[in-house]
């Protein structure tokens, strides 16, 4: 795509000036552990079916982004098989009977290399798309994401995935502090809690876009196509 092209996307609190060649689609943690029964999301007591509405809008946006040859990056939350990167505070949080690292129907919960840790088949990464394995909620902490974005000349992010108020929000805040402009399509992010979906998005766009912009995937598709 033309490297100097700018596209205006209708968004809140005001229009987002998208520079496609400098923008990555960053898909956060669309893993079986969060979206399918028997994984980390369910272990925490959540109804995982609540996240599935975000799959189809992500598929459409991902297909359009790939068709234009633009940068796609995926993330996965999880830990080393030896759990050396798992803080004890995170392991015992929630006082659940099963913990991160314990065996579940999709393998050891939230452990790298297990089937539950991998990205759902509907949004599976292409070999050319970087996958960032992150031990925390934010995609920048303890990862090489910032270096990859700098090396690829990226300064804008379209951030999608799950969950809106946890890993998406944390990542948008981390990105904002590092100088990236973040656009969040509301139908491409999901929460186990409707009230957190609403407030998680409001927090991003409030105060003149304190952390970023919020739009709908259709508004991105309209200008991209
Ligand atoms: N529990 C919850 O809502 N989210 C997480 O633990 N991680 C992500 O958001 N990916």
90 is catalytic: no
> What is the 77 CA–ligand 1 centroid distance (Å)?
8
Q: Quick check: 49 pLDDT over 80?
A: yes
CB atoms within 10 A of CB 21: 19
- State how far the Cα of 36 lies from the Cα of 12, in Å rounded to an integer: 32
Q: Is the pLDDT of residue 96 over 90?
A: no
Which of the following is catalytic: 22, 134, 137, 205? 134
Q: What is the pLDDT of residue 45?
A: 93
Residue 48: pLDDT above 90?
yes
| pTM (global) more than 0.85 | yes
Known catalytic membership, residue 102: no
User: In ligand 1, which atom is closest to the CA atom of 167?
Assistant: 9
Which phi and psi angles does 113 have, rounded to 5°? Answer: 95, -15
**Separation of alpha carbons 166 and 138, rounded Å:** 8
Rounded to 5 degrees, φ, ψ at 17 are: -90, 95
Residues 21, 27, 31: CA angle, nearest 5 degrees: 155
> How much distance in Å is there from the Cα of 225 to the middle of ligand 1?
32
Q: Which of 22, 23, 29, 181 is catalytic?
A: 29
Could you tell me where the beta strands, DSSP code E, fall in 36-85?
71-77
**Sign, Cα dihedral of 79, 81, 83, 85:** negative
Q: In the beta sheet, which residues pair with residue 74?
A: 27, 131
User: Other CB atoms closer than 10 Å to residue 182's CB: what's the count?
Assistant: 23
Residue 167 CB less than 6 A away from ligand 1: yes
| Strand 23-28 relative to strand 156-162, pairing | parallel
Q: Whose CA is nearest to atom 10 of ligand 1?
A: 167
Helix (H, G, I), strand (E, B) or coil at 14: coil
pLDDT digits (tens, 9 = 90+) for 155-199: 999 999 999 999 999 999 999 999 999 999 999 999 999 999 999
pLDDT of amino acid 3: 76
- pLDDT for 126 beyond 80: yes
């Amino acid at each position: 795509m033309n490297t100097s092209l700018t596209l205006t996307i209708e968004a809140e609190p005001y229009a987002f000036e998208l520079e496609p060649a400098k923008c990555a689609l960053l898909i956060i943690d669309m893993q079986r552990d969060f979206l399918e029964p028997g994984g980390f999301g369910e272990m925490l007591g959540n109804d995982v079916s609540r996240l599935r509405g975000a799959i189809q809008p992500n598929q459409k946006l991902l297909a359009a982004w790939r068709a234009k040859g633009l940068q796609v990056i995926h993330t996965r939350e999880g830990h080393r098989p030896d759990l050396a990167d798992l803080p004890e505070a995170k392991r015992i949080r929630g006082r659940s009977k099963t913990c991160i690292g314990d065996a579940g129907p999709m393998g050891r919960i939230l452990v790298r290399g297990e089937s539950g840790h991998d990205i759902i088949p509907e949004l599976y990464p292409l070999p050319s798309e970087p996958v960032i394995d992150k031990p925390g909620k934010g995609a920048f902490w303890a990862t090489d994401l910032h270096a990859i974005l700098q090396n690829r000349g990226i300064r804008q992010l379209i951030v999608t995935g799950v969950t809106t108020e946890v890993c998406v929000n944390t990542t948008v805040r981390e990105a904002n502090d590092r100088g990236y402009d973040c656009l969040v399509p509301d139908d491409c992010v999901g929460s186990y809690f409707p009230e957190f979906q609403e407030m998680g998005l409001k927090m991003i766009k409030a105060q003149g876009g304190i952390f970023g912009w919020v739009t709908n995937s259709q508004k991105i598709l309209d200008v991209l196509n």
